[in-house]
Structure 1
Amino acid sequence: MRRRSLLIAVPAGLATLAACGDDKSDSSKASDSASPSASTSASAAPPPKIVDGPLPAITAGAKFGEKPTVAKGSGDPSKQLAVKTVIAGGGTTVAENDYVQAHYLGQVWATAKVFDNSYDRKAPLIIQLAQNSIIDGWRYALTGKKTGSRVEFSVPPTWGYGTEGNSQAGIKGTDTLVFVVDLQETFNAKSSAKGTNVAQNDADLPKVGTNTDGKAPSIDIPKADAPTKLVANYILEGDGDAVAATDSLLVQYKGVVWDTGKEFDSTYGRGQLASFSLEQVVKGWAQGLTGKKVGSRVLISIPPKLGYGDSPPSGSGIEKDSTLVFSVDILAKM
């Protein structure tokens, strides 16, 4: 059983934290129409055969990152997964279970009805290519592709929304779907912030490693009293968008106790990224990360009143009234 992050697995009713009753992340929230997210009714199917076509033509918006216009499907679509790399990128290869950041458009083969697209929202989708997070057609079509690529593919119901379809998106159980996806970025357990080093000159604050190899950075606690106020400093400053208090983030992080330097939680140790809303976590995280830029590594020192106070999670190894220290890599906004 996968270990839950201590950031959201918290005692119910604790004033500084939101109670969270399940282990679902925000990674499955595709949009208001939830189009590529996994169907709750479609049963698991064997892997499809990947074929070259047929696929309808892209008639406008042919450049990477432009909203495409796609022709109506001609004739019968493949009963397998038809996949074409329209633009071959030269970036990182996408693996199954990676999180991908992508713009996309989806329409119905037979009618060319567009049921969802991220281009009009001006916000790319970030979602995990994992079973039960996204329809299987996406997992199979995009695994092995490189970032910077535009991929067009058709998804029959077997690897889409099954025989029940998706009524919210106007998709029938017999509809084959056509997607055009522009793969911008991919993130996995080896991802790190890539910002510019910021001087760590305060000898009374922890010093955080600046490695960007996907391994956990060191956190060296000084022989000094813990700060009584929140500290949130850049270690690596990225150049992405500023984080808002209501944002959901995809992060790598490591947490240690100030008094002992002992690690109590880490995405690096689990080998899995974390995604959550800043409205779900301890106040020190929410306040410390708000305003920081995507792509950054941030040192956060959280006094007890903004952390777990006198009610730390059972079995966490955190004593009452502990100051907590985190290194947080802000990989993306969900």
Structure 2
Amino acid sequence: MRRRSLLFAAVPAGLVTLAGCGGSSGHSDAGVSPSPSAPSAPPPPKIVDGPLPPITAGKRFGEKPTVAKGTGDPSKNLAVRTVIPGRGRAVAENDFIQANYLGQIWDTGKVFDNSYDRHAPLVMQLAQGSLIDGWRYGLTGRRTGSRVQIAVPPTWGYGKSGDPQAGIKGTDTLVFVVDLIDSFNSKSSARGRAVPQNDHALPRVGTNTDGAVPTVVVPHTAAPDKLVSAYVLEGDGPALKADQTVLCQFQGLVWNGGKTFQRTYGSGRLSQFSLSQMQQTVKGLAQGLTGKKVGSRVLVVVPPQLGYGDNPPSGGPIGKGATLVFTVDILAAM
């Protein structure tokens, strides 16, 4: 089943156009995400410790859990319990989270979705309208590295309409086990090791890791006529695949004059876009990021034939035949 209602935050203007704020991540094997079914948010729930059905197998963080069927009536409040406490940073509302999860129905124990079998953790913003409110309230304040179990009544789940595609009725309480792997916000940055920048014909990029805007010094020389993709900070995560969606910090500059035309660093936002969609707009950026490791800062220099060519966005500093310079901090991918 295809992932629905995945919200894209701070999409780079002029780089990729998405219909509204929603869309598919491009994965045909993605499951049903914990995304909302109702446009208006219910009042905040009372959070209680239970009841919650026991986890009977897969009890370690990162292991696919097996959860018993619920017994008796579930709470009408939001039941939340930290099963395994983590030692990472506390997750705040509006952060992006990276998490593995399993979801099942209280009454039947039927598993309607899990990310463990896909070997692809969910990356989603913990924000109103991005996912069900049971997650938003249940995960805020929990630390990365934690396993959290949540029982979500319909009010803070999929509402009275349920989710027929997933077999969820409007009266079903849902049980989730969530392994919080990591979280990201506007102060996040790449965490990799600095790579020597010895080519004086290329822009020199700052190596700060505090989320502030990295400096970019563009040389007063002719721009390269071929695509350049080089590590500034090399992470140790998996390599990006061409069909993935990337969560990142980025900035874009014009080679001639070094003027910035778009950036997320220092803006209070992150950017999330699919590489396959980027292929249709700034092909060189998609090609330059494909194969690079998560956790890295990458310098990508895009020649005109792989950028906007003679059809740049109107009203901005990008002229016809412009060579573009990007720095991208790859925070996560899905």
| TM-score class, shorter | over 0.9
Displacement, 1:277? 0.9
Deviations 1:41-64 (A, max 9, x none): 363201111111111111111111
Q: Residue type matched to 2:35 in 1?
A: S
Deviations along 1:158-208, one digit per CA (max 9) or x if unpaired, are: 000000000011000000001010100101111111111110001111000
Aligned counterparts of 2:188 and 2:269: Cα–Cα separation in 1? 10
User: Any idea what SS the aligned residue of 2:277 has?
Assistant: coil
Amino acid at match of 1:43: S
1:100 and 1:129 in contact (8 A); partners too: yes
How many Å apart are 1:143 and its aligned residue?
A: 0.5
- Structure 1 pair 108–20 and aligned structure 2 pair: CA distance change class (3 A): closer
Is the counterpart of residue 154 in structure 1 residue 161 in structure 2?
no
Matched AA of 1:191: S
Summarize deviations over 1:243-275 as a string: whole Å, max 9, x none.
122221111101111111111100124321111
Q: Aligned partners of 1:35 and 1:169: how far apart in 2? A: 10
With structure 2 as the length reference, what TM-score do the two structures score? 0.92
Aligned match of 1:284: 284
Question: 1:328 corresponds to which residue?
Answer: 328
Supply the distance in 2 between the matched residues of 1:96 and 1:157 (Cα, whole angstroms): 21
Q: Which of 4, 15, 39 pairs up with 1:8?
A: 15
Q: Which residue of 1 aligns with 2:244?
A: 247
1:131 is aligned to 128
CA 1:328/1:35 → structure 2, altered by over 3 Å: closer, same or farther? Answer: closer
Matches within 5 A, 1:66-145: 66-145=63-142
Matches within 5 A, 1:1-334: 4-9=11-16, 20-24=18-22, 32-39=30-37, 41=38, 43-281=40-278, 282-334=282-334
In the alignment, what sits opposite 2:5?
A: none
TM-score, length-scaled by structure 1: 0.92
Tell me which moved more, 70-79 or 211-220: 70-79
- Is contact 1:42–1:162 with CA below 8 Å preserved after alignment? no
Q: Secondary structure at 1:286's aligned position in 2? A: helix
Q: Deviations over 1:53-92 (max 9, x none)?
A: 1111111111111111111112111111110001100001
Work out whether residues 11 and 272 of structure 2, in 8 Å CA contact, stay in contact via their aligned partners in 1: no
Q: Which amino acid aligns with 2:332?
A: A
Q: Give the deviation of 1:4 after TM superposition.
A: 4.8
Cα offset, 1:317, TM superposition: 2.0
Residues 285 and 7 of structure 1, relative CA distance in 2, 3 Å threshold: farther
Over 3 Å counting, the alpha-carbon distance change for 1:71 and 1:99 in structure 2 is: same
Task: Look up the equivalent residue of 2:15 and give its one-letter code.
Answer: I
Structure 2 Cα separation of the partners of residues 298 and 330 of structure 1: 8
Q: How far does residue 26 in structure 1 lie from its aligned partner after superposition?
A: 5.5
Cα–Cα, structure 1 residues 168 and 33, in superposed 2: closer, same or farther, change >3 Å? farther
The Cα of 1:32 is off from its aligned counterpart by: 3.5
Distance in 2, matches of 1:149 and 1:52, equals 16
In structure 1, what is the Cα distance between the partners aligned to 2:27 and 2:258?
36
1:25–1:276 CA contact under 8 A, matched in 2: no
Q: What is the CA distance between 1:33 and its match in structure 2?
A: 3.4
Out of 240-249 and 180-189, give the one that drifted further. Answer: 240-249
Identity %: 64
Report the alpha carbon displacement of residue 327 of structure 1 after superposing the two structures with TM. Answer: 0.5
**Structure 1 residue 27, shift from structure 2 partner:** 6.8
Specify whether residues 174 and 143 from structure 1 end up closer, same or farther in structure 2 by C-alpha distance, changes over 3 A only.
same
Whole-Å Cα distance in 2 between the matches of residues 249 and 264 of structure 1? 20
Q: Contact (CA 8 Å) 1:8, 1:280: kept in 2 or not?
A: no
Structure 2 CA distance, aligned partners of 1:212 and 1:37?
A: 32
Counterparts of 1:25 and 1:221, CA distance in 2: 36
Q: How many residues align?
A: 323
Q: Would the aligned equivalents of 1:251 and 1:274 in 2 still touch at CA under 8 Å?
A: yes
- Residues 42 and 163 of structure 1 are in contact (CA less than 8 Å); yes or no, is this contact kept in structure 2? no
